[in-house]
C-alpha cells in the first residue's frame, strides 16, 4: 500500500501547477519543477510570464513540489531514472548535483556559463555544480549556516558576539546565570537525526581545521565532543535539541526563549517581521570557530538544471539564463528574501538599502564550503546521521562516533571507489 500511495503522489505532483493554462496547442510548453518557496512565490510566476513575453511561442508551466528536500529528491530520482521525466527544468539542492550528473540524469551546461562568468558567482555553489570538470547546474540562490544572537541581551551585559566556541559558552553561561530565566536557553541548534545535524556537526568540526570523514582525528573528536558538552556539561543547550530541526529552533529563538541559534539566513525575515517578539532585538554573525582556525559555514542553496533527455533543452537553458540573471536574482532577493548567487549584487546600494543584512552575509557566503562533493554524498550522510545522533543523546562517545562514521565511509570507498572529495579547508 505504501508503494501504491507513493506512486499516486508521484503521478499527482503535477497537479500543483501554475501558469500555462489554456495554452496555444502549437506553443512549446516548458515544465519547471521546484519546491515550495518559504515566502510569497508570486515573483517567480511574474518572472516566468515575462520570459514568455520575451520568447513568443514558449509557455512555462510552474509545478510545485513539497518543501521537504527529501521528498523532492525522491520525486526527481523516480522520474529521472526512467529517462522520460515529465519536466524540462528542475531546482536541485547543492548536494544532489554530483549524484544526478554521474547517473546521466542532467545535461552539462558548460557552454551556458563560460568560465569568466562563473567567477561572478560565489565559488562554493560552482564547486558543488561541477562534476568530472563539467558544469551541470547554475546557482539560483545561496545559503550558509549563520549564528543568530539576542543583541539586546548581549548589550545589556556588555558582551560582544562570540568569535570562538569557548566565547559562546562563556557568554551564554554569564547571561543565563544573570538573567535567571528558566525558559531561556543558551544555544540552540539542529540535533535531530537528519541532514541538518550533519551540517551543524560539520561546521563545528571544520572550524577546528579538520573534517568529519577525513583529517585529524583528535580535532574531529574535540568538535564532536563540543556539541555534546553544550548539553551535558555546559548546560546551555536543552535536551530537546535531539529532536530539533530548523523550524523548531527558529520558533524557540523567535519566541524569545534562546540566546544564540545556529540556523540559515531564511530565518532573518521571519524573526524581523511585524509582531515578532524579537523584532529589533537580534543580530546575525559568522559562526564561531576554535582558536587559530577560521569559521566554516556549510553551503546551502539551490541550483537549476536540465534533464538530459528533455526534448526542450534549448528553451530550458534560456530560462535558466533568465532566472539566474542579475535582474531576476535581485527581484527574488527583494520579494522573497532569498540570497543572490551573484556576488556583484551584494555591492549594489539600492539592494542593500532594502536588505542591509546582505552586507553581513557576503563574507559568510564567500567562506561557505560545500559538503563532500561526491555522487555518494547522501549515502555518506545517511550512514553518519544515526552515529552523530547517538552522540547527541549520550549513547556514544565522540571517539566511538567518529570511528563508526569513518568506518562506514571506508566501506563505501571500497564498494564504490574514491567516493568523495572534501572541499578545501
Domain boundaries, the chain: 13-143+299-367, 146-296+375-425
pLDDT category at 296 given cuts 50, 70, 90 is very high
- β-strands 89-93, 28-35: how paired? parallel
Return the CATH number of 146-296+375-425, one of 3.40.50.150, 3.40.109.10, 3.40.190.10, 3.40.50.300.
Answer: 3.40.190.10
Structure-model confidence comparison of residues 40 and 71, the more confident one: 71
pLDDT the model gives residue 274: 94
Mean pLDDT (the chain, rounded) = 92
pLDDT category at 415 given cuts 50, 70, 90 is confident
- Whether residue 135 contacts residue 113, with contact meaning beta carbons closer than 8 Å, is answered with yes
- Please compute the mean of the pLDDT values over residues 261-282 and round it to a whole number: 95
The answer to which of 15-24, 71-80, 135-144, 241-250 has the lowest mean pLDDT is 15-24
pTM flag (> 0.75): yes
- Whether residue 205 contacts residue 221, with contact meaning beta carbons closer than 8 Å, is answered with no
- Please compute the mean of the pLDDT values over residues 179-202 and round it to a whole number: 97
According to DSSP, the residues that pair with 8 across neighbouring strands are none
Give the tens place of pLDDT for each residue, 334-370: 998 899 999 999 999 999 999 999 999 999 999 999 9
Closest Cα to residue 97, out of 115, 82, 120, 80? 80
Same fold, 13-143+299-367 and 146-296+375-425: yes
pLDDT category at 5 given cuts 50, 70, 90 is very low
Task: Give me the percent of the chain exceeding a pLDDT of 70.
Answer: 92
Return the CATH number of 13-143+299-367, one of 1.10.760.10, 3.40.50.300, 3.30.420.40, 3.40.190.10.
Answer: 3.40.190.10
Q: Is 424 exposed, middle or buried (0-12, 13-18, 19+ CB in 10 A)?
A: exposed
Amino acid at each position: 500500500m505504501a508503494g501504491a500511495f507513493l506512486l499516486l503522489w508521484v503521478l499527482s505532483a503535477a497537479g500543483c501547477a501554475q501558469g500555462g493554462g489554456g495554452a496555444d496547442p502549437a506553443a512549446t510548453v516548458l515544465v519547471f519543477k521546484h519546491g515550495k518557496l518559504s515566502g510569497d512565490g508570486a515573483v517567480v510566476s511574474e518572472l516566468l510570464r515575462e520570459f514568455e513575453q520575451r520568447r513568443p511561442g514558449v509557455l512555462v508551466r510552474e509545478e510545485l513540489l513539497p518543501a521537504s528536500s527529501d521528498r523532492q529528491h525522491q520525486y526527481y530520482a523516480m522520474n529521472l531514472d526512467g529517462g522520460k521525466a515529465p519536466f524540462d527544468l528542475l531546482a536541485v539542492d547543492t548536494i544532489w548535483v554530483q549524484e544526478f550528473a554521474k547517473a546521466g540524469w542532467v545535461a552539462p551546461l558548460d557552454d551556458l556559463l563560460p568560465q569568466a562568468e562563473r567567477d561572478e558567482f560565489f565559488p562554493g555553489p560552482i564547486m558543488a555544480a561541477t562534476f568530472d570538470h563539467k558544469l551541470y547546474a547554475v546557482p539560483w540562490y545561496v545559503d550558509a549556516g549563520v549564528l543568530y544572537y539576542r543583541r539586546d541581551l548581549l548589550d545589556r551585559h556588555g558582551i560582544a558576539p562570540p568569535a570562538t566556541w569557548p566565547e559562546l559558552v562563556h557568554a551564554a553561561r554569564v547571561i543565563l546565570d544573570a538573567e535567571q530565566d528558566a525558559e531561556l536557553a543558551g544555544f540552540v541548534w539542529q540535533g535531530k537525526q537528519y541532514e541538518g545535524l550533519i551540517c551543524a556537526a560539520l561546521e563545528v568540526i571544520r572550524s577546528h581545521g579538520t573534517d568529519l570523514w577525513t583529517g585529524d582525528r583528535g580535532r574531529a573528536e574535540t568538535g564532536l565532543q563540543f556539541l555534546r558538552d553544550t548539553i551535558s556539561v555546559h548546560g546551555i543547550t536543552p535536551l530537546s535539541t535531539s529532536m530539533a530541526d530548523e523550524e523548531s529552533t527558529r520558533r524557540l529563538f523567535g519566541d524569545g526563549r534562546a540566546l544564540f541559534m545556529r540556523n540559515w539566513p531564511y530565518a532573518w525575515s521571519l524573526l524581523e517581521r511585524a509582531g515578532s517578539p524579537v523584532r529589533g532585538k537580534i543580530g546575525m554573525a559568522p559562526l564561531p570557530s576554535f582558536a587559530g582556525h577560521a569559521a566554516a559555514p556549510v553551503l546551502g542553496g539551490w541550483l537549476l538544471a536540465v534533464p538530459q533527455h528533455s526534448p526542450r533543452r534549448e528553451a530550458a537553458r534560456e530560462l535558466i539564463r533568465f532566472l539566474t540573471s542579475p535582474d531576476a536574482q535581485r527581484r527574488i532577493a527583494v520579494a522573497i528574501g532569498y540570497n543572490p548567487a551573484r556576488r556583484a549584487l551584494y555591492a549594489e546600494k539600492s539592494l542593500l538599502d532594502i536588505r542591509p543584512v546582505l552586507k553581513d552575509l557576503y563574507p559568510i557566503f564567500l567562506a561557505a564550503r560545500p559538503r563532500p562533493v561526491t555522487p555518494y554524498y547522501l549515502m555518506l550522510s545517511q550512514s553518519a546521521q544515526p552515529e552523530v545522533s547517538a552522540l547527541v543523546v549520550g549513547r556514544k562517545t565522540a571517539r566511538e562516533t567518529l570511528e563508526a562514521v569513518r568506518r562506514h565511509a571506508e566501506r563505501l570507498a571500497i564498494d564504490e571507489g574514491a567516493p568523495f572529495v572534501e572541499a578545501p579547508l
